[in-house]
Amino acid sequence: MSFIYFTDNVCTSYKLEIKRFHDYFVANGWSIVTDPAQADLIFVGTCVAFENLERESLERLREVNQLGKQVVAYGCLTTFNPTGLAMVHDGIRIATTEAERVGSLLAEPTIRLEDIPEPSTFRSKEDYRLYDLTKRFVNTSLGCAFVCSFCPHKLGIGNLRSRPPDDIVKQIHNLVSEGVRIVVLTGSDTGAYGIDLNTTSPTLLREVLDIHAGFEIHVAQFNPAWVLKYRDGLLPLFSNPRVTDIQIPIQTTSPRLLRLMRRPCDTDRIDAFLQLVRRENEKAIFRTDLLVGFPTETEQELMETLEFATRVFDEIAVYAFERKTGVPLENMGLEFYTADEVHARAELAIQCIANVPGRLVHQGGQGPETLVALEKRKEELRQTRYLGCKPSCPLASE
């Protein structure tokens, strides 16, 4: 019998992808071990989204490569920072766009990688904020349709690759038959779903809502540009009370900064859209992401963004800007703030949001304990709304 060890620090979409790789090895008779020293093959999922995650990926690879085992480096690090990777790893590299190469790691597999069903769970309980198997995650696509100036993700995950809609609907049908109560539609850019397949994300969401009335839907990472593009078709779908969690990452409300970020967005129209959604769907939690400390950001632009975000959204994730070598922003001639200044702005943003009753806030890089507490508070807020409280009603604990 052969043994494999998995370790990763990747995002939700790629946790699901690595779970598919995990299932592939298990289906072909391999055993999973929790000690890399006992493994014949070590599989390391990598991330470059934030400096701490990139450092962690490099450190894990450095450690396991000292064991004298066969090591596979998978994920964004392989394409975003191949030079740094080469300093700690000279073994197999597989980019996120080359998933089929994982199938070739086994010479004569009994079951092919392409025959492994798309998973809706992660590899371990530690991968969850709250471990609840009645809530499942469904990848609609991998990759991204945008080329934001500051973002390392696109360089790591590649262009959008949508799953066939029939496959997604079939997977959710199966989940519903298992008694799943919440389905999270996820991806790096869920709003872009289908543009490579001659379909759209609203079309998919409509089909999912038509499956059955007995489960809720959470929509993750729906970029504002797609809200504006599909506004009329999307409004009745997001207004459906079964859609109980909607994430629209705005980053900032400043038109000037959005142009520098290469993110098309009109936040006033997002505000108007969500107000219409709220009239019909009081149960939904509205979530967003903010990028604080972007080069040339003024204090006024930051405060206007915070005012908007705390007025419109229930949960706000604050991310401190990090400078990344190789992204388009590096060639735009902008003046960057010091790390201390960026940190101070992020702390100010978090404090401002935390001071608003009923608003939930967290920041990039926070530990699992904080995120678990956040999920519990979010459920309290959701239950408050189920009992008929208006959206502006603060939590009892505030």
pLDDT tens digits for range 355-393: 999 899 988 655 555 666 677 777 777 666 654 444 333
Q: Is 328 exposed, middle or buried (0-12, 13-18, 19+ CB in 10 A)?
A: middle
Residue 153: predicted pLDDT:
85
Q: What is the pLDDT of residue 377?
A: 74
- Region for residue 330 given its phi and psi (left: phi exceeds 0; alpha: psi -120 to 50; beta: otherwise): alpha
Using alpha carbons, list the distances in angstroms from residue 187 to 11, 108, 192, 219, 311. Answer: 9, 31, 9, 9, 26
Mean pLDDT (whole number) for 111-136:
93
Domain ranges of the chain: 3-115, 128-386
Q: Mean pLDDT across the stretch 245-261?
A: 97
- Least confident among 92-96, 205-209, 387-391: 387-391
CA-closest candidate to residue 288, choices 234, 193, 221: 221
Q: Is 238 exposed, middle or buried (0-12, 13-18, 19+ CB in 10 A)?
A: buried
Domain 128-386: homologous superfamily in CATH: tm_1862 like domain (3.80.30.20)
Would you say residue 346 has pLDDT above 80? yes
pLDDT at 79: 94
In total, the chain counts a number of residues equal to 398
> Is the pLDDT reported for residue 394 higher than 90?
no
Q: Are 125 and 131 in contact (CB under 8 A)?
A: yes
In this structure, the number of other CB atoms found within 10 A of the CB of residue 307 comes to: 13
Per-residue tokens: 193: 């779903």
pLDDT-derived band at 1 (thresholds 50, 70, 90) equals confident
Mean pLDDT of 164-179: 96
Query: What average pLDDT does range 232-246 have in this prediction?
Result: 97
Asked if 159 contacts 143 with a C-beta cutoff of 8 angstroms, the reply is yes
Chain CA centroid to CA 388, Å: 30
pLDDT at position 392: 39
Compare 214 and 382 and report the one with higher pLDDT: 214
pLDDT over 70 (residue 331):
yes
**Is the pLDDT reported for residue 398 higher than 50?**
no
What distance in Å separates the CA atoms of residue 109 and residue 127, rounded to the nearest whole number? 28
The whole-number pLDDT of residue 369 equals 57
* Average pLDDT score over residue span 8-14: 93
Q: Mean per-residue pLDDT for 98-125? A: 96
Average pLDDT over residues 273-279: 96
Q: What is the C-alpha R_g of the chain?
A: 21
* pLDDT at position 396: 27
CB atoms near residue 17 (< 10 Å)? 23
| Block residue for tokens 């080069």 | 295
Residue-wise pLDDT tens digits, 39-63:
999 999 999 988 889 999 999 999 9
CATH topology for 3-115 is Rossmann fold (3.40.50)
Averaged pLDDT of the chain: 92
Strand duo 161-162 + 141-142: pairing: antiparallel
pLDDT tier for residue 142 given thresholds of 50, 70 and 90: very high
d(CA 345, CA 341): 6
What's the rounded mean pLDDT across residues 119-147? 93
pTM of the model: 0.91
